[in-house]
Chain A
Amino acid sequence: MAEPARRMETDPEPALVAVAGVVLEAFADGALWWADRRLLVVADLHFEKGSAFARRGRMLPPYDTVETLTRLSRLVTRFDPATIVALGDSFHDDGGAARLRPSDRATLKALQSGRDWIWIAGNHDPAAPAGLDGGHLDSLAIGPLVFRHEPTIGDGGHGEIAGHLHPAARVAGRGKWVRRRCFAGDGRRLILPAFGAYAGGLNVLDKTFAGVFDLAAFRAYMLGEDRVYAVGRKVLRPD
């Protein structure tokens, strides 16, 4: 991680998304980058979801945490952020941090060193993760933007960056359909896709999203192989 961040020609192409006048870059791996502040945002990491399921007898492969950390490491290498904000539900349950394997714990610590790390409280992990570095906040305001876990309607003034809903979108064409995780935004609010390896997606047309967005300005930013596709509401399909 010593190499300073330099964007290469082969780097994936982000979609530029404006929220409350701030231009942010949305990447195909589901991360959001605020270049001016050198701030990297990821949502819903759901670390240790596999072991949470194993406790109930569903023995999912125990590699989700290491996979999520690997993806995160790639981002840190690429951007060398000054600050990383994890937008809540960073652990799948309260005991998750305690179940981290020593090697994963070490990887996480290495990612955190030399930069600010903010754990935003989520509904799965309302308390600060035990024994880990990083600040713990309910929400974080920087300039015109506020970062929190659950989108909060009626918070006038600020632009909002949130997670929690795991947005995904579906489009169809030529007899095929594609369903992908997506960023979902309307210029005032941007909801990030879930970043965790075992975190699924919820269709943005689901009733859970009712009232969250100004529909006239709504866009889904669907995650492609190495670029992000901005898609209008008209072409979206329900599940």
Chain B
Amino acid sequence: MTARADISDHTTVLHAPFAEWFASRGWAPRPHQLDLLARARAGRSVLLIAPTGAGKTLAGFLPTLVSLHERPRDAPVGGRGPHTLYISPLKALAVDIARNLEQPVAEMGLPVRIETRTGDTPVHKRQRQKLKPPDILLTTPEQTALLVSATDADRFFADVDTVILDELHSLVVSKRGDLLALCLARLRTLAPKLKAIGLSATVADPDALRAWLVGQRGAPPTPSDEVAKPSAGRKAKTPPRRLADLITVAGGAKPEITILDSAERVPWAGHSARYALADIYAAIGAHKMALLFVNTRSQAEMIFQELWRINTDGLPIALHHGSLDPTQRRKVESAMSEGRLRAVVATSTLDLGIDWGDVDLVVHIGAPKGASRLAQRIGRANHRLDEPSKALLVPANRFEVLECRAALDANYLGAQDTPPIRAGGLDVLAQHILGMACAAPFEAGAAHAEVTSAYPYRNLTRETFDRVVDFVATGGYALKTYERYAKIRKGPDGLWRLTHPRFAQQYRLNVGTIIEAPMLNVRVSRSARAGFAGRGGRTLGKVEEYFIEQLSPGETFLFAGQVLRFEGIRENEAIATRTADDTPKIPMYAGGKFPLTTYLATGVRGLLSDPRAWGQLPVQVSDWLRIQKKRSILPRRNQLLVETFPRGNRSYLVCYPFEGRLAHQTLGMLLTRRLERARLKPTGFVATDYSLAVWGLGNLGRAFADGAPSLAELFDEDMLGDDLDAWMADSYLLKRTFRSAALISGLIEKRHPGKEKTGRQVTVSSDLIYDVLRAHEPDHILMQATWADAATGHLDVARLGDMLSRIKGRIVHKRLDRISPLALPVMLEIGREVIAGEAQEDVLREAAEDLVKEAMGDG
């Protein structure tokens, strides 16, 4: 930490145009803005953590503007690269920031050129930007990757002084963050004096972000014989992290958050929150503009439609989610900023820090799933720091009441539960290495040093790095048959270079780490029948292919706020027609999108175990817990309650780990395998965010009571060993993860020069590749990358492992003669929930039986 700015006398820091500009608006520069300016001028990289409305953006750009103001007027303009690079996760955010920046720059009369560069920027403009770069370039991680992989990258970035990374907290936890970290390392090599300014909302571990912003010393260039040593040995040698400076702005006024206490009955299960619509509508009516957040797109569709059904006052209510056509989204956004709307139903597309005008109420429908996410969303209301934001939480079922309560406590306590930064993906590294070769020949040792200066890759060994280089060159297989087809090759000078320029073209077409679920356009055709043949009609947006695949022609579904009748698929389009029918046949709900964070899970368990805290809960919910306490057990904070009871001709096990749906699904799979081995004939399971139910034909209660097996054995951590391996290898989840690793690493292509593959074609071929690779080289580097991703991503194995070790010796078994109150929600999910990819043979068998019916004349 170096010099602190003297904030009592800012005129000594700020030049005339800046001081005058602040004065003309009746503002004073805020202390954190001056602090950041002083540190940046001292050449420091800085992380600024501030809540929305704290003037974060201006703080981030102030050092750049001052520095550009000080630049000699007669300095040659041509040939100079950009001074500052601003990188945001959203195209829309980059455009929005450019607009917000241009105004003060114009008012201060600064000679500063500002331009954006995104996927939407036309080619001629991009070319012009290369020849005559702006002073400030606002862009995205993908465009940055393209710029650093260009052959003129060294020249273009030679003068770059500052890189500003917006919404850093949301970027660093994804593979886009890995890609960006590698690009940042590249930029530091090209411009050694580069300083990074990170702008972030509050996070659980600021030091990780501070380290992310600056170059790390990285792993020592380990000779390969050291690699096999246990990681503990290596850890001791890891040098301390280098950290950027930190400026933290305390939160503004405490938000006013309430949980909806509806007179209606709160449902036992489900996620629709339909019961609360009248209450929500009344809340909209009582405010200027309300923002309604939901967790999934389908929920947004449903709430939107239901609100209009009861919109007797004709309030302007709009819908905003990521699948809608961009032009429709832009319309909603501009209507919002002009204050022409009373409410917008939105998903996470509106999560990030775009300024959307005068929102005075945030309604959160469904449980927020994380205290940080809740804080972020509530921050959308009332952008003035000193006024409290107002928020209303609407739990969709009884467990969500508990979760909302826990989130509310966490928010009041200022607790943060953002996920930790994981080790960088090897698939992303493979993509980056090809990008490096596209820019210029590289030497492996220097490249390894550069890569390990990036925080997510700081522990990457030279051996693994070399394997990834080998993968990029020839696929990196044990069987060396592709040497002559190598994409990059090491020359006698020790430098790796591209063997053919067409690989650079391929790289450019496939850059990035966002692997979307394959999507189809939804086109509304005017005429019902002929629509299939005609190309006319409007595109409403995109929908996941897997959803459309479940539909039969004639079935109705909800999209873009309308009920549509599905007509058929034509190339990459789903053709639909409008229908007067107002009850869609096919619900689109796919369950909660986000798992409950560990932090909230602990809160919910605490609430459950502490009857004194129940006074804060609606009466119907506390009654529910009281009856549970009488009829069964309420587990203590660290216990795992396992209930068993008979129902129909089956025996049920219900447990309550509160670890989120992903972890519970994995647990369900593993328990089923074990129960099968114990000959208890399990026949199915269903998981929610809170609990898991497994059922079978054997008497589970008696078996556990007799210790055959005991619950301690059943829930033993060793299930994460062989059982997990065996199950995962066959799981469709692993295939899906492999597909994205194969796409990101460049093994298969999203796009090939000249023709675009549809998602489906990629899916088929990556599954076949997976089967062959698994059979013949299961230790291949891409398989390793896949397992690492799957363990933290789709399956949440890490979390399951923590849970299993936490409950060791703390399992409470309660044998009941009938279902308990606490078990009711998960039991109601049975039959609603389907585990994709499993029980495929059943579907085939049923289809074959249909044939029999057809043959017998009733088909």
- Is A231 an interface residue, CB under 8 A from the partner? yes
Q: How far is the CB of A217 from chain B (nearest CB, A)?
A: 12
| Choice from A58, A176, A200 contacting B839 with Cβ under 8 Å | A176
Q: Give Cα distance in the complex from A235 to B848, angstroms.
A: 9
Binds A, one of B177-185, B200-208, B763-771, B791-799: B763-771
Q: Chain B contacts of A199 at CB under 8 A?
A: 768
User: Which residue of B has the minimal Cβ distance to A171?
Assistant: B847
B765 and A198 contact, CB distance less than 8 A: yes
- Is B775 an interface residue, CB under 8 A from the partner? yes
Q: Give Cα distance in the complex from A239 to B776, angstroms.
A: 30
Binds A, one of B40-48, B120-128, B215-223, B472-480: B472-480
A198 and B859 contact, CB distance less than 8 A: no
| Choice from A58, A176, A224 contacting B748 with Cβ under 8 Å | A58
B550 and A175 contact, CB distance less than 8 A: yes
| Choice from B485, B502, B772 contacting A59 with Cβ under 8 Å | B485
Indicate whether A54 sits within 8 Å of B482 (C-beta atoms), given known contacts A59-B747, A234-B854, A237-B549.
yes
Q: Give Cα distance in the complex from A55 to B772, angstroms.
A: 19
- Is B846 an interface residue, CB under 8 A from the partner? yes
Q: Chain B contacts of A54 at CB under 8 A?
A: 474-475, 481-482, 485
- Is B647 an interface residue, CB under 8 A from the partner? no
B843 and A197 contact, CB distance less than 8 A: no
Q: Give Cα distance in the complex from A177 to B772, angstroms.
A: 23
Q: Chain A contacts of B850 at CB under 8 A?
A: 231-232, 234-235
User: Which residue of A has the minimal Cβ distance to B768?
Assistant: A198
Q: Give Cα distance in the complex from A224 to B842, angstroms.
A: 10
| Interface residues on chain A, size class | 35 or more
Indicate whether A177 sits within 8 Å of B549 (C-beta atoms), given known contacts A63-B773, A232-B854.
yes
A61 and B765 contact, CB distance less than 8 A: no
B775 and A172 contact, CB distance less than 8 A: no
A180 and B772 contact, CB distance less than 8 A: no
- Is A1 an interface residue, CB under 8 A from the partner? no
Q: How far is the CB of A214 from chain B (nearest CB, A)?
A: 16
Q: Give Cα distance in the complex from A200 to B748, angstroms.
A: 15
B 114-149 contacts with A by CB, 8 A:
none
| Choice from A60, A200, A234 contacting B475 with Cβ under 8 Å | A60
Q: Give Cα distance in the complex from A173 to B502, angstroms.
A: 45
| Interface residues on chain B, size class | 35 or more
- Is A154 an interface residue, CB under 8 A from the partner? no
Q: Give Cα distance in the complex from A14 to B317, angstroms.
A: 59
- Is A101 an interface residue, CB under 8 A from the partner? yes
Q: How far is the CB of A66 from chain B (nearest CB, A)?
A: 7
Q: Chain B contacts of A219 at CB under 8 A?
A: 851
- Is A178 an interface residue, CB under 8 A from the partner? yes
- Is B844 an interface residue, CB under 8 A from the partner? yes
Q: Chain A contacts of B768 at CB under 8 A?
A: 197-200
- Is A7 an interface residue, CB under 8 A from the partner? no
- Is B841 an interface residue, CB under 8 A from the partner? yes
- Is A64 an interface residue, CB under 8 A from the partner? yes
Q: How far is the CB of A18 from chain B (nearest CB, A)?
A: 15
B769 and A61 contact, CB distance less than 8 A: yes
User: Which residue of B has the minimal Cβ distance to A202?
Assistant: B764
| Choice from B502, B777, B845 contacting A63 with Cβ under 8 Å | B777
User: Which residue of B has the minimal Cβ distance to A15?
Assistant: B848
- Is A37 an interface residue, CB under 8 A from the partner? no
A28-64 interface mask toward B, CB cutoff 8 Å, 1 = contact, 0 = none?
Answer: 0000000000000000000000010011011111111
- Is B188 an interface residue, CB under 8 A from the partner? no
User: Which residue of B has the minimal Cβ distance to A225?
Assistant: B841
Q: List 17 A-B contacts (CB under 8 A).
A: A57-B502, A59-B471, A59-B747, A60-B748, A61-B475, A61-B773, A67-B772, A172-B549, A172-B552, A172-B843, A176-B839, A177-B843, A197-B772, A199-B768, A200-B765, A222-B847, A234-B859
**Chain B residues within CB distance 8 Å of chain A:** 471, 474-477, 479, 481-482, 485, 487, 500, 502-503, 506, 549-550, 552, 568-569, 747-749, 760-761, 764-765, 768-769, 771-773, 775-777, 780, 834, 836-837, 839-848, 850-851, 854-855, 859
- A61-B773, A219-B851 known, 10 other contacts, Cβ within 8 Å: A51-B481, A54-B474, A55-B485, A57-B503, A60-B748, A61-B475, A173-B847, A231-B847, A232-B850, A235-B854
